[in-house]
């Protein structure tokens, strides 16, 4: 039988493979340990409950918060919805004036579209601040947008398309000084950068299992319990799980896998980040040195070690849409998958539609080797040079 060789995986910002040890930790909770963690009258339930509570502790340790501040969800999309709508649907403290919210143009759609929904459905007032040319959101831009009725600020810790890291501690501490709540989408940074919800003064934090070699369909919303106490209105009704904030039987295997993946990410974070930085640097210089039309998107230094995004001036916009032979990378970060509209992030950093479309994102991760990087450089250069000749002809 002929087996086709699969392309090398360069899409770790989209998702990651489950870590084998996380899979092993999950396995019993699909089979013999199948109890409902809410069934506290027998040992099946106790065992499931203990496993969930262990995962809650593992994640709390990573965020430097209390286990009771961890709420399990289905992923970062749900966590972002719960954080934003959980506050937007609450009655204002300033009599009946509609609350005001601040977020940035470069957030994930699961933040931007939720704010749009809050605006049209609940009359929330929303200000979108512009990033700088590297996609970074400054405290100054937030300060310019603030109003007396600002209730919440949402700024992601690191961008999923271009990898730029935002000054989260600076924004969080200032928000705290103004008694404004601060939410950060940490789907891309959790497990890769150190996060400390006290030092960073974060009140609400979203994260996702499948970005850190954990399972898909599980995530967390951290909700601060004191200083200040954040009160959310739940999006779902019908159960008392997760203090009624997120009712429904818990996804026990998923939660166990997320806990295990968190512990693994934390223990190897420093060494893995240093290893990836070397690979990232090699990839960036390898492409930029050979292709004058190439530019790196995102911040030159304040960026995730797992992300490289290039745009190519003067190239046909569609050459990457078909993918690069042998490389599983994302041209879909340039165009939201399934649509032809250019990325809102690349537009926000000033790219034309054409340049935004002539963009590729490579996500680096646990299984990426130096040889993979060398091959990626060769393939990208070859593709661009070939396309350059076609454009001239
Ligand atoms: N926020 C960011 C920054 C992301 O990268 C993603 C995943 N693409 C999400 C939110 C959504 O996460 P999930 O897939 O867990 O819903």
Instruction: Give the three-state DSSP class for 15.
Output: coil
Strand partners, 71: 221
Nearest ligand 1 atom to the CA of 80 is 10
Give me the residue label for tokens 């209105």: 233
359 with 307: CB under 8 angstroms?
no
Q: Whose CA is nearest to atom 12 of ligand 1?
A: 76
Nearest ligand 1 atom to the CA of 217 is 15
Nearest ligand 1 atom to the CA of 158 is 3
Spell out which residues line ligand 1, taking CB within 6 angstroms.
Answer: 75-77, 108, 110, 156, 160, 185, 187-188, 208, 219
Q: Look up residue 308 and give its two tokens.
A: 């490289």
CA distances from 60 to 63, 248, 326 (A): 5, 21, 40
Compute the distance between CA of residue 154 and CA of residue 87 in angstroms, rounded to an integer.
12
Write the DSSP symbol of residue 206: E
Instruction: Give the three-state DSSP class for 359.
Output: strand
258 Cα: distance to centroid of ligand 1 (angstroms):
15
Tell me: the pLDDT tens digits for 27-59? Answer: 999 999 999 999 999 999 999 999 999 999 999
256 with 51: CB under 8 angstroms?
yes
Q: Look up residue 365 and give its two tokens.
A: 């991760």
Q: Look up residue 302 and give its two tokens.
A: 């304040």
Instruction: Give the three-state DSSP class for 39.
Output: coil
Residue 94: CB atoms within 10 A of its CB come to 12
**Averages of pLDDT over each 10 residues, the chain, 393 residues:** 80 98 98 98 98 98 98 98 94 70 98 97 96 98 97 98 98 98 98 98 98 98 98 96 97 98 96 97 98 97 98 81 80 53 95 92 97 96 85 60
78 Cα: distance to centroid of ligand 1 (angstroms):
9
Region of 368 on the Ramachandran plot (φ > 0 left; ψ -120 to 50 alpha; else beta): beta
Q: Whose CA is nearest to atom 16 of ligand 1?
A: 77
80 Cα: distance to centroid of ligand 1 (angstroms):
9
Q: Whose CA is nearest to atom 6 of ligand 1?
A: 187
Nearest ligand 1 atom to the CA of 77 is 16
Residue closest to 98 by CA, chosen among 147, 143, 59: 147
188 Cα: distance to centroid of ligand 1 (angstroms):
7
Instruction: Give the three-state DSSP class for 391.
Output: helix
Mutate to test the pocket of ligand 1, among 73, 114, 160, 161 (most ligand atoms within 8 A of CB): 160
> What is the per-residue pLDDT for 308?
98
> Nearest 5°: phi and psi at 307?
-130, 135
357 Cα: distance to centroid of ligand 1 (angstroms):
21
Task: Enumerate the active-site residues.
Answer: 335
């Amino acid at each position: 039988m002929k087996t086709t060789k699969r392309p090398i995986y360069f899409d770790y910002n989209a998702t990651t493979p489950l870590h084998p040890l996380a899979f092993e930790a999950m396995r019993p909770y699909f089979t013999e340990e199948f109890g409902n963690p809410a069934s506290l009258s027998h040992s099946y339930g106790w065992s499931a409950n203990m496993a969930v509570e262990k995962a809650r502790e593992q994640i709390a340790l990573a965020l430097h918060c209390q286990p009771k501040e961890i709420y399990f969800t289905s992923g970062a999309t749900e966590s972002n919805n719960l954080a934003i709508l959980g506050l937007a649907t609450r009655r204002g403290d300033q009599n009946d004036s509609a609350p005001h919210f601040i977020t940035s143009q470069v957030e994930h759609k699961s933040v931007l579209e939720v704010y749009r929904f809050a605006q049209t459905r609940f009359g929330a007032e929303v200000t979108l601040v512009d990033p700088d040319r590297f996609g970074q959101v400054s405290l100054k831009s937030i300060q310019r947008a603030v109003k007396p009725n600002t209730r919440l600020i949402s700024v992601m810790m690191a961008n999923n398309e271009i990898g730029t890291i935002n000054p989260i501690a600076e924004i969080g501490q200032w928000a705290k000084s103004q008694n404004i709540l601060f939410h950060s989408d940490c789907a891309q940074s959790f497990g890769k950068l150190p996060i400390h919800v006290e030092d960073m003064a974060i009140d609400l934090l979203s994260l996702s299992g499948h970005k850190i070699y954990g399972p898909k369909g599980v995530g967390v919303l951290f909700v601060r319990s004191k200083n200040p106490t954040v009160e959310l209105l739940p999006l779902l009704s019908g159960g008392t799980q997760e203090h009624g904030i997120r009712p429904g039987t818990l996804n026990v295997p998923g939660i166990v896998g997320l806990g295990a993946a968190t512990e693994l990410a934390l223990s190897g974070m420093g060494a893995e980040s240093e290893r990836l930085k070397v690979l990232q640097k090699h990839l960036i210089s390898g492409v930029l040195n050979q292709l004058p039309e190439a530019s790196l998107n995102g911040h030159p230094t304040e960026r995730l070690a797992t992300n490289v995004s290039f745009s190519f001036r003067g190239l046909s916009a569609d050459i990457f849409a078909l993918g690069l032979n042998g490389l599983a990378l994302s041209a879909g970060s340039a165009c939201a998958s399934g649509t032809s509209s250019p990325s809102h992030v690349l537009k926000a950093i000033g790219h034309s539609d054409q340049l935004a479309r002539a963009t590729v994102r490579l996500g680096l991760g646990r299984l990426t080797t130096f040889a993979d990087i060398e091959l990626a450089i060769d393939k990208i250069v070859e593709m661009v040079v070939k396309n350059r000749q076609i454009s001239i002809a």
